[in-house]
Amino acid sequence: MYNLELPKKLKASANQAHQVAAEIFRPVSRKYDLAEHEYPVELDTMAAMVEGLKDSGGEIGGAAGGRASGDGTPSTEIANSNGGNMSALLNALETSWGDVGLMLSIPYQGLGNAAIAAVATDEQLERFGKVWASMAITEPSFGSDSAAVGTTATLDGDEWVLNGEKIFVTAGERSTHIVVWASVDKSKGRAAIKSFVVPRDAPGLSVARLEHKLGIKASDTAVLLLQDCRIPKDNILGSPEVDVKKGFGGVMQTFDNTRPMVAAMAIGVGRAALEELRSILTGAGVEISYDTPAMNQHAAAAEFLRMEADWEAAYLLALRAAWMADNKKPNSLEASMSKAKAGRTGTDVTLKAVELAGTLGYSQHTLLEKWGRDSKILDIFEGTQQIQQLIVARRLLGLSSAELK
């Protein structure tokens, strides 16, 4: 029997995140949408709050908060656990309700932190658990095909030497560390792809430019160059050994953490749009009833009910993926399902809200048009809608990537 009520220990943290979203993020949301690449000084307050929470034993997320199961083996425990992954998901949802671009810019809460949580050793988690880490995977030659990584890492004594170019790195300029995907042996294919923690001040690392984007403008998105970039030998996450039989499941485990997080972002933006749309429809005299069949209601009300049901399904799928991670259950299928559903629902809900609100939705009098722009990236990064559906199909049909492309 499932209990869908959130535990009390998580409600307090989620409520605090919502207050941050309402009192800090939402009031400056339009300001930083219009001032792309300007550093949001309000985030300094946010960083202090995060550190305060950690010192008091609480979490808003990060590597320590999003710690997943170590080896992906099913749990034999009977007890139900709601830990770092669920907490991080709920806080991502609440802060994205305020502004997803600002959420992606919160110090110490980068997507690289979830990557560290997924594959770092206990010793590495001790070293990197409190850094602000962005994640660098995509390159000019590929997008969704993570196995096509061209960046190389060569061991030279006690250092790794990295060479390559990474694009669309979220928080790539502001973060203190970057988790970089690179190949340690191109001849061994995808099995040789590993992730490395590169400090911001590492010699050979530079920011080539910042991208101008459709949405999430408060977040900096960088192009990074690695030119004979040197990092310590033990900055490779997990084992440096290349296991051809295992493939690159180790680095791919990263996505089991980050995809539910991105799903939560889309769910947060979608909820914001639904709440604003309900207010606009109610003000226009459109009644939304849960007792009357949708076909007997105003067309706008019927559409609202459809979107709300889709939103609820996305929310529950994301909760399941996070719960499975906290309970040490393999969740690759569920992580992709939650990302696919939430990404599609987020764009559907926000753009339909713009449409139903008419001229008010298309103008800058509300944040609806901004949420429509912001939501699109949440259906693209961390694996596109099409990639998620492909992964789900492979898992359900029991087929490999070579058998189903």
**Using CA atoms, how far apart are residues 364 and 29, in angstroms rounded to an integer?**
12
Q: What is the DSSP letter of 143?
A: S
Q: Are 366 and 277 in contact (CB under 8 A)?
A: no
Q: What DSSP assignment string belongs to 243-290?
A: -TTTTTHHHHHHHHHHHHHHHHHHHHHHHHHHHHHHHHHHHTT----S
Tokens of 277: 């749309």
Is position 382 annotated as part of the catalytic site? Answer: yes
Identify the CA nearest to 96 among candidates 32, 48, 29: 29
Which of 94, 308, 369, 382 is catalytic? The answer is 382
CA atoms within 13 A on the CB side of 271: 21
Phi first, then psi, for residue 133 (nearest 5°) are -115, 125
SS3 of 35, please? coil
**Using CA atoms, how far apart are residues 125 and 286, in angstroms rounded to an integer?**
52
**Using CA atoms, how far apart are residues 225 and 223, in angstroms rounded to an integer?**
7
CA 360 to chain centre: 30
Phi first, then psi, for residue 194 (nearest 5°) are -130, 165
| Residues taking part in catalysis | 382
